Amino acid sequence: MTFFQRFRIILYGLVQLAMGIIMFAIPEDGTRLALLMVGLYLILTGYKNIWYYLVMARFMVDGRMALIQGVIMIDFGYLASSITDVPRIYILLYLMIMHAFAGLVEILRALEEKRFGEKHWKLKFSHGIANLVIVILCVVFIQNNTFVVMIFAAGLVYSAILRVISGLRKSSFGYIH
Amino acid sequence: MQKDFHYYATYCAAYIAGFSHDECLEIAYSAQFVDVCSRTLLKKINAPLQAATTQLQMELMDSRVDIFALHDITRIWTSFHFLPADLYAKKKWRTKVYLNRYRLICGPNGDLLVDTVDLAKGKTTQAIGIAMHVLADTWAHMYFAGTPSLVINNTNFDFFEIIKDEEGFKERKINFKHNVSMKDNIDSAVYVNCIYSNKEISVMNLGHGRAGHIPDYSFIKYRYMPAWNDFKLMIKDNPTDYFKAFAQMVYALKYIRGEYETFEKNTYDFKAIEKYSERIKEILEKRQPDASEDWKKLGEELSGQEIEDFDIEKYQSSYRTVPADMKEKSFIGKFVTAALAHKKMVTSRIIESNNTIAGFRL
C-alpha cells in the first residue's frame, strides 16, 4: 500500500467514524446526513470511473468494468441523495441494504485473498461478517427506530476502526527486478 | 532479468567482445548494481540520492502517488529497466493521456537504445555496465511500461506457458498467487504476482508486476493478453529473445570498444557467439529459476579466470571512506555519474516527446 492509499483509507475510516458518532448524538437527523454523504461519495466516484473509462479504460482488456461500476455508483448515489425526504425507516432500510452489500463484497474479497494466499484476509472477512450481523440486528429490531439507529451507528464505528487499522497495517506486494 | 544474466552473462558477452577479465568484472558488476542501487543504499553511503537506479519494495510502498512521485518512479523505471521502444508511437483514436502511457512501453531496438549505447561509448566501465543492463532489459521487459499504469501493464487470467514436448508444443495454464513469501513453483506453474488494483497509477501496476517474475526467466515461452494490445494475444519467447539480447550485447560492446563506427539497430553479432551458441541456448532453455551457476561456468571457461560472486558491499566502504573530492573517482562515484547522465538523457527525451509522465519543463 502506498502512503497515499493508506492516507485515503484512514481518512475514509475517520469520516465513517464521524458519521457513526453523529448518528449516536442526533439519531433523528443523523441518518439523513449519513445518506447524503454516502450519496455524494458515490456520485463523485461514479463520475470519476466513467471519465476514466472514456479516456483510458475503453482501450483496455476488461476495461468495461470501469464503466459498469461508474454507472451503478452514480445510480445508487442519486438514489441515496434523493430519498432524504421520506420516513426514517425507509432511509434506514436503504442504508441497511447498502451496508449488507458492502459486507458481502468484503467477504467475497476476503475469500479471494485467502485463495491467493494473502495473509491478512481474516481482518477483511471479520469486517464483512460484522457488517452482515449489524444488518441482521437492525432487521430484527426494525420496530424500534431509535434502537436500530444506535445499532447501525455502533456498526459504523466498528467498521471505521477496522478500516483505520487496515490502513495502518503492514502490507506487501510482489517485487519486480 | 536477474543476476544470472545481468552479472554472469554480461561478463561472458564482455569477454567475447574483447574486454579484459578485470574490465569484464567491472562491467558485469555495474550491470548488476543497477538492480540494487536504491535510495536506501545511497543514503547509507552518503551518495547523491538522485542517482538511484531502482526502488526497494518498501520505498515503493511508502511513495506517494502524486504527480511528483509518479515522475520519480517513471524516471527510474523507464530509464533503467523499461526503456521505451518508441516515444512517438501512434495509435488511432487514443487520447493523449492514454498515448503518454502507451509510448512508454518497453521494447528492443528503439532510438533510445541507440542513444543509451552511444552515451556509454568512451566512458567508464560503470557506464558500459549500466548500458548493458538497460539493453538486456529491453528484451526481457518487452511489452510492459516503467510507469504505474493499469491500462498498459495489467494482465488477466488468460496466461499460458508454451512447453515443448514430443508432439511439438503444448500449453499449460499459469496460476498466479499474491503471497510474496511464497516462491515461484516452475514445475506446477504457480507464480507470485502483484495483486490486482483497479487504480490506474497504483504501484501494483508498475512494470511486469502483474505478470510476476515470468518475464525475468530465460527458459519460459508464454502467451498472454496484454491490456493494451487491442484484445489480441501475445506470444513471448524468452529463450529466443534472451539469445538475441546476448548477441546484441556482444555487438554493442564491440562498438563501444571501437570495432564498429556506428551502433545500428536490429544488429546482432551472431558470428562472434557461433562457437558457444549451442551452450548458450542450452543454458537459456534449462528450466531453472536461476541460471547463475551455468553462466558462471561458461564465463570461467571463456576467460580461464575465476568470476567472484556479486557482493553488494564490495565498493561501499571505499566510497564512504574516500575524501569528498575523490569520491567521483571511486567505483561507486563513477557509477553515480554514469547513472545520473543516463537518467538525464532518457528523461529529457521523454519530455522532448511532449510526454509529461516523467516530468515537464516550465
Give the model confidence (pLDDT) of A13-32 as tens digits: 888 888 888 878 887 776 77
Instruction: Give residue B252's pLDDT.
Output: 98
Is the confidence at residue B215, as pLDDT, over 90? yes
| Chain B 197-256, residues with CB within 8 Å of chain A CB atoms | 198-200, 202-204, 206-209, 212-213, 216, 225-228, 230-231
Degrees to nearest 5, angle at CA B247 with B293 and B266 = 145
Give the model confidence (pLDDT) of B130-170 as tens digits: 999 999 999 999 999 999 999 999 998 889 999 988 888 89
Sorted by where each begins, the domain ranges of chain A are 3-168
- Structural domain contains residue B127: yes
Q: Report the residue from B194, B200, B202 with minimal CB separation from A174.
A: B194
Among B145, B156, B53, CA closest to B100: B145
Instruction: Give residue B101's pLDDT.
Output: 96
Radius of gyration of chain A (CA): 17
Contact call for residues A1 and B61 (beta carbons, < 8 A): yes
Q: Report the residue from B63, B179, B202 with minimal CB separation from A3.
A: B63
| Residue A105: other Cβ atoms inside 10 A | 12
Angle B111-120/B125-140 helices, nearest 10 degrees?
160
Is the confidence at residue A147, as pLDDT, over 80? no
- Structural domain contains residue B203: no
- Structural domain contains residue B31: yes
Q: Which of the 8 DSSP states describes residue B88?
A: T
- Structural domain contains residue B118: yes
- Indicate the pLDDT class of residue A165, thresholds 50, 70 and 90: confident
Distance CA B192, CA A173 (A): 9
Kindly provide the residue ranges of all beta strands, DSSP E only, lying in chain B, ordered along the sequence. Answer: 159-165, 168-173, 175-177, 190-192, 221-224, 234-237
Q: Report the residue from A2, A56, A113 with minimal CB separation from B64.
A: A2
How many distinct structural domains can be found in chain B? 1
Q: Which three cell numbers stand for residue A79?
A: 438514489
Distance CA A82, CA A71 (A): 17
CB contact under 8 A, A116 and B66: no
Distance CA A107, CA B167 (A): 45
Give the model confidence (pLDDT) of B248-293 as tens digits: 999 999 999 999 999 999 999 999 999 999 999 999 999 999 999 9
Instruction: Give residue B321's pLDDT.
Output: 93
Instruction: Give residue B244's pLDDT.
Output: 98
Q: Which three cell numbers stand for residue A156?
A: 459504523
Give the Å distances, CA to CA, from B138 to A11, B83, B105, B119, B337. Answer: 40, 6, 10, 17, 22
Contact call for residues B47 and B332 (beta carbons, < 8 A): yes
Is the confidence at residue A84, as pLDDT, over 70? no
Instruction: Give residue A104's pLDDT.
Output: 84
- Structural domain contains residue B97: yes
Instruction: Give residue B99's pLDDT.
Output: 96
- Structural domain contains residue B310: yes
| Residue B31: other Cβ atoms inside 10 A | 33
Instruction: Give residue A173's pLDDT.
Output: 47
Contact call for residues A39 and A77 (beta carbons, < 8 A): yes
Q: What is the average pLDDT across B303-329?
A: 94
Give the model confidence (pLDDT) of B112-121 as tens digits: 999 999 999 9
Give the model confidence (pLDDT) of B43-65 as tens digits: 989 999 999 999 987 778 766 66
| Chain B 146-185, residues with CB within 8 Å of chain A CB atoms | 150-151, 154, 156, 176-182
Contacts of A174 in chain B (CB under 8 A): 178, 180, 192-194, 209, 212-213
Q: Report the residue from B57, B95, B193 with minimal CB separation from A55.
A: B95
* Boundaries of domain holding B121: 3-147+237-352
Distance CA B7, CA B132 (A): 10
Q: Report the residue from B57, B151, B200 with minimal CB separation from A175.
A: B57
CB contact under 8 A, B154 and A61: yes
Instruction: Give residue A1's pLDDT.
Output: 56
Give the model confidence (pLDDT) of A22-69 as tens digits: 878 887 776 777 778 778 888 999 999 999 999 999 999 888 989 999
Is the confidence at residue B202, as pLDDT, over 50? yes
The size of the A-B interface in CB pairs under 8 A is 107
Q: Which three cell numbers stand for residue A81?
A: 441523495
Which residues in A have their CB inside 8 Å of a CB on B?
Answer: 1-5, 52, 55-57, 59-63, 65-66, 113, 116-119, 171-177
- Structural domain contains residue B158: no
